[in-house]
Structure 1
Amino acid sequence: MNSMLETSEAAWLLLKEELRAQAFSLGVDKLGFASAEPFSQLKDVLVRHRQKGYESGFEEPDLDKRTDPSLTLATARSIISIAVAYPSKLKSPPRSEPGAYRGMLSRSAWGQDYHHVLRDRLKRVEDWLKTRVPEALIVSMVDTGVLVDRAVAERAGIGWVGRNCSVITPEWGSWVYLGELVTNIPFSPDTPVLDSCGDCTICIDACPTSALVGHGQLNAQRCISYVTQTKGMIEDDELKRKIGNRLYGCDTCQIVCPKNKGIHADHHPELTPDPELVKPLLRPLLQMTNREFKERFGSSAAAWRGKKPIQRNAVLALGNFRDVDSVPDLVRLLKTDERPEIRGSAAWSLGQIGGDAAKGALREALRRETDEALRRELKKALVRLGEMDEADKDGNDRGNTGGHHSV
């Protein structure tokens, strides 16, 4: 192709259609084009979102960078949005059963880390463009980039942002990963897809914690997917219960979406899940070393926060299962683990399971524990098991013995 300055609008249109035709061979399931104009309306939404305390804290903090593509590339003329479909079903999933309960990783953590897969696809698109327009400037990003992937994808006609806050494509539902390339190539924009959610509120009604607070609006602080990725103690007992057996992420609002019914993409080998990895036995996770965690989960998107959140969530899952067989494991964590969030989670789960061994371990831990947040967890667990009354919990705990009970 000639110099960019000499290239006609018709030539850019031809290049655009050639790229679209090549998308699947480049490993991209859908490709769309958007203008690089600022996302002014989005910025207003993000400001209100922040004021209400709905942010997760994982986002780019600079709202101008999130909404103005020219701050990523000063000469930006257009944005190419890509979507790569991922699997929604497990082949021969292992069963969770008494004595061998299992946790679950969300579909976004199935197969290889999607950040690596998307970067590979973006690189393929970038290389293809550079062979045709050598002087083109291109900045690609996925998830951890500054722009809001969903807003770019919606503007580029990939799909619409549904009430579940996911981009829903007509072809693949919301089971897609998104990425984008900001470029100085003046591609003409595609037409956005019309919102097809209609009056449906199934996702909002199904959300375990009512985190979906409006069309395309999410209170991340209440979202189970976010909560599973936090470090530290989960203070809210309702959130502990609502996590269920989720070790990383939450798919509820996507699973119930009618637009996702019957959709399963299994044509990208890198994204094919190992059933034993994405639905692992819980108890072996409790004693996993850092090295074992990296060997087992290192290639998954679930590994980015390290092993601590996954181990904490496994502890909570055993409590939610009321797994009596796990009591010795939980007692050991309560006695010996150096991490307060693990000890606190073990206390909560022992309070859910109950039994003499659990009660004894909780009373013993209360006598020696000095961490105030942990002491609250221990007292709540003892109250739940009838080993302490509310007056003792809120006031004097009688020499840290749990009232008149003895070990």
Structure 2
Amino acid sequence: MDVGFWQAFKEDMLAAAGEMGIDKLGVTTADPFLELKQRLVRHRELGFESGFEEPDLDKRTEPGLLLPGARSIISIAVAYPSKLKDAPVSEPGLRRGILSRSAWGEDYHQALRRRMVRLSEWIVARLPDAELLSMVDTGALSDRAVAERAGIGWSGKNCSVITPELGSWVYLGEMITNLPLPPDQSLEDGCGDCTRCIDACPTGALVGPGQLNAQRCISYITQTKGFVEDELMLKIGNRLYGCDTCQIVCPVNRGIDVRLHEELLPDPEVAKPLLRPILTMGNREFKERFGSSSAAWRGRKPIQRNALIGLGNFKDRESVPDVVRALNDDPRPVLRATAAWALGRIGGDEAKLGLEQAKLGEQDPDVLAAIDRALTAQA
């Protein structure tokens, strides 16, 4: 088959993308991502990795290791909303947390996989011998590196792929194939001298243009399951999952709120839930409430810990009995220690009494240390 056939095939695929629920599609070669590999090596040396990534840097940068005979990579982008309509109000006694926009609506992994299946079926129906390997977020390849090289958008200083039409409010996925599809041109950088994302990052996790220290990124921290440093808990605010600050301040994103896909529209009560009820949720209730969101992938422990952090940062006096109950009754030391921190932040006689009484029966050294710090903060 000649070049003309593959160009026509690609144009037909582009024309059909919208019906598959794909908002933007680009193609790049399956050549190794050599520059990316150098950056990843340096990233690891600096200790900036999150630990959620594929550990094998060769697999992350050499598509041919994932699909022998790979010739092309198809990159897709699907837009998601950035505005929460009819958002419930957070008020004393009824304080609310917030999920990042990437966790609104249906879990994007499922939403994109369905689109990848449709695209695969479309290709195989026309080329039965096509070899295809799809991945979304959890695959070995870097979604952003593929999308950048395929012309979906440019890599912003906030480490997001920014599209001219949809901003950075897009989910990304890719498909490695043995088809020799004509590649697209990458876009020129559109950030210019702007550093708003770097300046606005709450923890200074954006250590340079396009360089992220994941260990200090709130989006990463809210997904961990362990103890969080006091300083970082202050920065988390009422975020239950993820952080959108570096995208919210981006000038390209201003005014963009794409609502093309019903399954990605947020339920306000899930996107901005009450904090106190989260503290006593069992696994079944948690799955019923948050199970369809990408925020549920780490289970309820991080969300419950972050709910305690949110109540502490709100200094919500009416929640003290709930937080004291968590300090006394929760079997998980991380949550008890976080509850102690929250009571120290809230302050007042009831919080102090709760801390003093809990100290008498507590045996875990980390929790005891947290109680002591909380009592010192109130002194």
Whether 1:337 and 2:325 are equivalent positions in the alignment is: no
Q: Give 1:318's aligned residue.
A: 311
Gaps of 5+ in 2: none
Moved over 6 A (4+): none
Q: Give 2:155's aligned residue.
A: 161
TM-score normalised by length of structure 2: 0.99
Q: How far off is 1:332 after superposition? A: 0.8
Taking the aligned partners of 2:324 and 2:365, their CA distance within structure 1 comes to 19
1:192 maps to amino acid:
S
Whether 1:143 and 2:156 are equivalent positions in the alignment is: no
Taking the aligned partners of 2:59 and 2:292, their CA distance within structure 1 comes to 29
Q: Give 1:106's aligned residue.
A: 100
Whether 1:352 and 2:345 are equivalent positions in the alignment is: yes
**Identity of matched residues, %:** 65
Taking the aligned partners of 1:154 and 1:30, their CA distance within structure 2 comes to 12
Q: Give 2:118's aligned residue.
A: 124
Q: How far off is 1:367 after superposition? A: 2.6
2:281 maps to amino acid:
M
Tell me the SS of whatever aligns to 1:233. Answer: coil
1:222 maps to amino acid:
R
Return 247-256 or 17-26, whichever deviates more: 17-26
Q: 1:20 aligns with which of 14, 17, 20?
A: 14
Tell me the SS of whatever aligns to 1:357. Answer: helix
Taking the aligned partners of 1:360 and 1:383, their CA distance within structure 2 comes to 13
2:83 maps to amino acid:
K
Q: Give 2:47's aligned residue.
A: 53
Residues 171-205 of structure 1 show CA distances to partners (whole Å, capped at 9, x for unaligned) of 10000000000000001110001101000000000
Tell me the SS of whatever aligns to 1:292. Answer: helix
* Pairs within 5 Å for 1:152-301: 152-234=146-228, 236-301=229-294
Q: 1:64 aligns with which of 58, 67, 77?
A: 58
Taking the aligned partners of 1:365 and 1:101, their CA distance within structure 2 comes to 24
Q: 2:30 aligns with which of 36, 42, 47?
A: 36
1:152 maps to amino acid:
V
1:32 maps to amino acid:
G
Q: Give 1:389's aligned residue.
A: none
Q: How far off is 1:331 after superposition? A: 0.7
Tell me the SS of whatever aligns to 1:23. Answer: helix
Q: How far off is 1:366 after superposition? A: 2.1
1:162 maps to amino acid:
G
Bigger radius of gyration: 1
Q: Give 1:9's aligned residue.
A: 3
Gaps of 5+ in 1: 1-6, 387-407
Tell me the SS of whatever aligns to 2:222. Answer: helix
Q: Give 1:363's aligned residue.
A: 356
Q: How far off is 1:8 after superposition? A: 1.1
Q: How far off is 1:375 after superposition? A: 1.5
Taking the aligned partners of 1:137 and 1:213, their CA distance within structure 2 comes to 40
Q: 2:69 aligns with which of 43, 67, 75?
A: 75
2:123 maps to amino acid:
L
Taking the aligned partners of 2:374 and 2:93, their CA distance within structure 1 comes to 23
Q: Give 1:4's aligned residue.
A: none
Q: How far off is 1:372 after superposition? A: 1.5
Q: How far off is 1:94 after superposition? A: 0.5
1:25 maps to amino acid:
E
TM-score normalised by length of structure 1: 0.92
Whether 1:88 and 2:79 are equivalent positions in the alignment is: no
Taking the aligned partners of 1:99 and 1:374, their CA distance within structure 2 comes to 26
Tell me the SS of whatever aligns to 1:83. Answer: strand
Q: Give 1:393's aligned residue.
A: none
Q: How far off is 1:354 after superposition? A: 1.1
Tell me the SS of whatever aligns to 1:315. Answer: helix
Q: How far off is 1:365 after superposition? A: 2.0
Q: How far off is 1:368 after superposition? A: 2.5
Q: How far off is 1:364 after superposition? A: 2.0
Q: How far off is 1:374 after superposition? A: 1.3
Taking the aligned partners of 1:364 and 1:61, their CA distance within structure 2 comes to 45
Taking the aligned partners of 2:280 and 2:363, their CA distance within structure 1 comes to 24
Residues 275-301 of structure 1 show CA distances to partners (whole Å, capped at 9, x for unaligned) of 011100111111111100011111100
Tell me the SS of whatever aligns to 2:204. Answer: coil
Tell me the SS of whatever aligns to 1:229. Answer: coil
CA RMSD of aligned residues (A): 0.7
Whether 1:383 and 2:342 are equivalent positions in the alignment is: no
Taking the aligned partners of 1:101 and 1:365, their CA distance within structure 2 comes to 24
Tell me the SS of whatever aligns to 1:177. Answer: strand
Taking the aligned partners of 2:355 and 2:57, their CA distance within structure 1 comes to 46
Taking the aligned partners of 2:254 and 2:20, their CA distance within structure 1 comes to 27
Taking the aligned partners of 1:173 and 1:348, their CA distance within structure 2 comes to 38
Taking the aligned partners of 1:130 and 1:350, their CA distance within structure 2 comes to 59
1:261 maps to amino acid:
R
Q: How far off is 1:91 after superposition? A: 1.2
Q: How many residues align?
A: 379
